[in-house]
Amino acid sequence: MQSDEKRFAGLTQLKASQTSFPLTPTAAKLETFDNMFTDRDYLIEFNCPEYTSLCPVTGQPDMGSIVIRYIPDKYCIESKSLKLYLFSFRNYNTFHEEAVNLILDTVVKACSPRRAEVVGRFCPRGGIAINVKAVFGDSINEQTI
C-alpha cells in the first residue's frame, strides 16, 4: 500500500491555503485520487443544487441542479476540485445540453470510470424547464451494484 503522501500528491486544490476560482470550465482541473476498492463496483454521487451558467444568446442566468453519478475504476474525483469546476460555469455561456455533456466528458477524461451519468435539472425560464441526461457506458442500475 502506498503512503498517504504519495497517494494525495496530486490533490493540489484541496491542500491549497488559498482557493483559486477558475473562470471557465476549460481552465478548471478535476483532480483525482486512487480508488482503494477497485475489486468491486460501488456508486459515487455528487449533487450540486446551486448550478448556474449563462445563456449563450441572451446572457441571462440559468439555474438548476447537476447530479453526477459514477462507478469508479482506478480513480475517484476529489470533491473540492469538482466544486471549483462546477463553479467555473457561473460566467460561462452554454446551453443546458452542452453543459451536461461537457461535464460528463470532463468526468470521464479525469477518472476513466466504469460507468457514469450526469443529469441536469434546470429551472424554468419562459415557462419551460429542461432536464438533460448524458450517459457513459451502460446506464447505472443500483439494483445490480
Catalytic residue among 4, 34, 41, 55: 55
Question: What is the Cα 142 distance to its own chain's centre?
Answer: 19
Which uninterrupted H or E stretch holds 122? Answer: strand 115-125
Active site residue 55: yes
- Distance in Å from the first CA to the final CA of the chain: 26
CA-CA distance, 8 to 120, in Å (whole number)? 30
Rg (the chain; Cα; Å): 16
CA-CA distance, 16 to 95, in Å (whole number)? 32
Catalytic residue among 62, 73, 76, 105: 62
Question: Among candidates 66, 11, 58, which has minimal Cα distance to 34?
Answer: 11
What residues are labeled active site? 55, 62
